[in-house]
Amino acid sequence: MGNENIVVDKETMDKIELKLRGLKLQLQDKTLIKDLQEIIDLLEGEIKTKANSLQENIKEKMNETKHSNPEVHFKFYMLYRKLADNQITEEEALKAYEIYIRD
């Protein structure tokens, strides 16, 4: 599979995880429980990785442009702060990030 990204609301992902955990508690088959736990672990890993990776990518670009392009550095800084302070969604931040990368 490729590295294509989709944007899913964190609240939706949390609901999916909660339903999977509830389903796991209802199961008796150890093989199914193990398989379901692997799915839950994958989901948790993706949530943590994606949440941090966009913010980390923005911070990395912010640091890269600090001396070479102060104007772009400021844009990345503002984007980083807004995302860190939950003033914008990850989807909005990703769109802005992609625009700033092109500039």
Q: What DSSP character marks residue 6?
A: -
| 23 phi, psi to nearest 5 deg | -65, -40
Question: pTM above the 0.75 mark?
Answer: no
pLDDT at 51: 60
- Span 20-67, pLDDT tens digits: 999 999 999 999 999 999 999 888 877 766 666 888 889 999 999 999
Rounded percentage of the chain residues whose pLDDT exceeds 70:
88
5 found inside a domain: no
Question: Residue 10 pLDDT more than 80?
Answer: no
Q: How far, in Å, are 17, 33, 40, 49 from residue 22 at the CA level?
A: 9, 11, 11, 24
58 found inside a domain: yes
pLDDT at 52: 63
Q: Where are the beta strands (DSSP E) in the chain?
A: none
Q: Tell me which of 101 and 23 has the higher pLDDT.
A: 23
Number of separate domains in the chain: 1
| Domain range enclosing 83 | 10-102
62 found inside a domain: yes
